[in-house]
A = this chain, B = another copy of it.
Amino acid sequence: MLPDIYELVDTMLKEERQQTILSEVELHNRILLTDIAETLDVSIDTIRRDVKELDAENKLRKVHGGAVSLGFTMNSTRNQNIYKLEEKNKIAEKALTLLKPGSVIFIDGGTTCSELARLIPQNLDITCFTHSLPVASELLTKPNVNVIIVGGQVSSESQTTIGANAIHNLSEIKVDYSFIGTGYVDSFYGLTEFDWDIVQVKKAVIKCSKKTVLLSISEKLNSQHRYKTCDINAINTMITELDPENELLNSFRNHDIRIL
């Protein structure tokens, strides 16, 4: 707890008290309102009001029963210029309609999936696995989302975990929906990638999902590459920014895919 030095002061200005609170939060990352109240010898209400003010001033973050330092949660790097952001936004919006309270989902890496993570409503109560650092960071801003990161070696390129460990960890979970992106998609060749490691992880993701949802901008339709993730049938729902009736999607209709 706090050193007893502070107790010597019997009349404290509000300003001083708030500075003390700030220092304690910065120092220990987190404090209890009750601790501070006891140490500074004021009522819990006063501390609560102080912390509320400091929170409003963005000096710290108030949490139930205490306060945490901002330095911790300072999570800035939001990339402003994502390629085709508008389209990806549209896709993410459609994907959101699939989410129900209590769902357990997996979200893949990539900008489209990050966009989905960003748009998840604050009050939606879900459990979300991911192997993407940016997605995890984004989800951490949602108080009602339970975030679980799939451990493993981190690929600096994709900012996602890959490799045997990640795949093994995925083998031990089962999610309702997985939302995945892909490098290339074609109605005949299925989902393909440039990178072999990424393919292995995506295979594991699909295997651990009851339903797999593909998020892809229409620009990727009818393209292919070296390594295959899965047949197109492995996808249960496919979301593009296009209207579901758009003729560009025709070649995907014969398969058992729901198109949104």
User: A: which residues have CB within 8 A of B?
Assistant: 1-3, 11, 13-16, 19, 22-23, 26-32, 57-59, 61, 63-66, 68-73, 75-77, 79, 82-84, 110-111, 133-134, 136-137, 139-141, 143, 146-154, 156-159, 161, 165-166, 169, 183-184, 194-195, 217, 219-220, 222-225
Contact = CB atoms under 8 A, between A and B. Distances in A.
A143 B195 CA distance: 18
Nearest to A25: B83
A16 B141 CA distance: 40
Contacts of A13: 30, 32, 63-66, 68
A59 B31 contact: no
A160 B225 CA distance: 36
Nearest to A154: B147
Given A63-B14, A68-B13, A83 B137 contact: no
A146 B136 CA distance: 20
Nearest to A172: B165
Contact of A58 (B28, B30, B79): B79
B29 A183 contact: yes
A194 B28 CA distance: 9
B66 A159 contact: no
A63 B134 contact: no
Residue among A32, A64, A146 facing the most chain B CB atoms (10 A cut-off): A32
A151 B134 CA distance: 15
B148 A152 contact: yes
Nearest to A70: B79
B30 A157 contact: yes
A82 B150 CA distance: 28
5 contacts: A19-B75, A28-B220, A140-B154, A151-B151, A151-B169
Contacts of A152: 148-149, 151
A27 B156 contact: no
A15 B154 contact: no
Given A13-B64, A143-B156, A149-B149, A30 B195 contact: yes
Nearest to A130: B154
B159 A154 contact: no
